[in-house]
Structure 1
Amino acid sequence: MAEKDRTKQGSVLRQEGKVSDSVAAFVRKVGAVARPNAGQDGRLLFALDATMSRQPTWDLACSLQAEMFKAIPKDSALQVQLLYFRGLGECRASKWVIDAGALSKLMSGIDCRGGNTQIGRVFAHARTEHTKRRINAVVFVGDAIEENVDALAAKAGQLGLLGCPLFVFQEGRDSRVEAAFREFARLSKGAYARFDASAPQELAALLKAVAAFASGGRDLLKLQNSGQAKALLAQIGHG
């Protein structure tokens, strides 16, 4: 990575570190209610579009996502799986892990490659994993759709019926993509938000709020006073 890029990324991380004290306090509370039974651990599936269109902001995305994982204490009873797609039909998932550092390292090693979106495979994977053992939240970050929107909406609705909410983050401002992403979130009883690279603090707070929800549910999310958490809470469960 060039010196200029390292300096820019360091600046972003310093900005992200200024997230309000209320967010930091809430994340600590989430960690304080760890479940002793590993079978009851919260689970969060983190899915990423790693196609070439996301290359310009990929480093920023990885740094913020890595910080989200680091903000979850080791005793928070939250397991995370990373899923990404790119290139010609490549779609891979990591193991379910509690070690956030391992996932952060894995994410930093992923580079973007040209190819079409595979959102359908993300939803299908989420359903398969959820039927094996409950997934408390699915985060998807993307900027495009090159698949049949109605077919994707049907899969999102199925996740909603199973109690597996989608938290869909859109990078960019394509109105067609926004309409579809909002619908996926609504049908799954999840929430939609913009992946705004110009507002790293707000984005980090949103990602942390989702992680908190996955770890402790609506009750713990209600404890947070941030506007980002309240915005997500207002959407969750409204189909």
Structure 2
Amino acid sequence: MAKAMRPSTDDANDIQERRSSDSDVAAFLRRTQSLAPRTGDGRLIFAMDATMSRQPTWDMALQLQGDMFAAVDEIGGLDVQLIYFRGFGECRASKWVSDAAALSRVMSQVSCRGGYTQIGKVLGHAKRETAKQKVSAVVYVGDCMEESIDALCQKAGELGLLGVPVFLFQEGREPRAEIAFKEIARLTKGAYCAFDAGAAHQLRALLKAVAVYASGGRKALQSFSEREGGAAARLLEQMG
């Protein structure tokens, strides 16, 4: 069920400057400091909603997202930054690393906390990151949306002008989120996909296709689509 809508908040502060006393969050940030330094050419931001509405299917979602990280490692040549939000204004990001599997293990230690969505912060952060060094793509996994659709679309449009596609994967079918996610995908020339436990195989294939795109661009995705078809072809079709 959708949570009550609230006004969006300012995301001017960098995500990494947020403070939290939770031990697992502190451990998450400490662990990322010891991961392999970034070495690849492509850069992928992987963002996820860790608010309480996702708790019932959190383990399943983590497994699917772990499959995506495995695909990143298999493809190689790709640096990943992991972002999650939850609780009261808590939004955290790792440094850029090349060991995606290690990030997946770290993320498995994070639990859900009640709070509103902070998608605007994710999009704003992606814009700042690509101003420093080109971000190849953003992947977002979530189930609902409680922010201003217009405000999110403004940020999405800015990312689109910078050539940063956003690939949004929605758990369930909450209507407002579906409308917003599809519009963000359109504005950034990315793609949208809904998933649940029964769509696990399809989501794995789509996430792998996104990783191929982030690593080698549209040409690599086209070649991958010609070999694999299916999910990669559908992704290309949505991207236009």
Q: Same fold (TM over 0.5)?
A: yes
Deviation for aligned residue 1:235? 1.6
The residue correspondences of 1:1-239 to structure 2 (distance < 5 A) are 38=39, 41-73=41-73, 76-223=76-223, 224=225, 225-236=228-239, 238=240
- Checking the alignment, whether the CA contact within 8 Å between 1:141 and 1:195 is kept in structure 2 is no
| Structure 1: tracts of 5 or more residues without a match | 1-36
| Structure 2: tracts of 5 or more residues without a match | 1-37
Amino acid at match of 1:194: A
Aligned residues: 200
TM-score normalised by length of structure 2? 0.80
Q: Aligned to 1:72, what secondary structure does the other structure show?
A: helix
Distance 1:195 1:172 in 2: 6
Distance 2:234 2:90 in 1: 34
Distance 2:199 2:114 in 1: 27
Q: Aligned to 1:101, what secondary structure does the other structure show?
A: helix
Distance 1:100 1:81 in 2: 9
Distance 1:154 1:49 in 2: 20
Deviation for aligned residue 1:174? 1.6
- Checking the alignment, whether the CA contact within 8 Å between 1:48 and 1:84 is kept in structure 2 is yes
TM-score normalised by length of structure 1? 0.80
CA RMSD of aligned residues (A): 1.6
Deviation for aligned residue 1:131? 0.5
Percent identity of the aligned residues? 61
Q: Aligned to 1:71, what secondary structure does the other structure show?
A: helix
Deviation for aligned residue 1:75? 7.1
Out of 98-107 and 122-131, give the one that drifted further. Answer: 98-107
Out of 187-196 and 117-126, give the one that drifted further. Answer: 187-196
- Checking the alignment, whether the CA contact within 8 Å between 2:43 and 2:79 is kept in structure 1 is yes
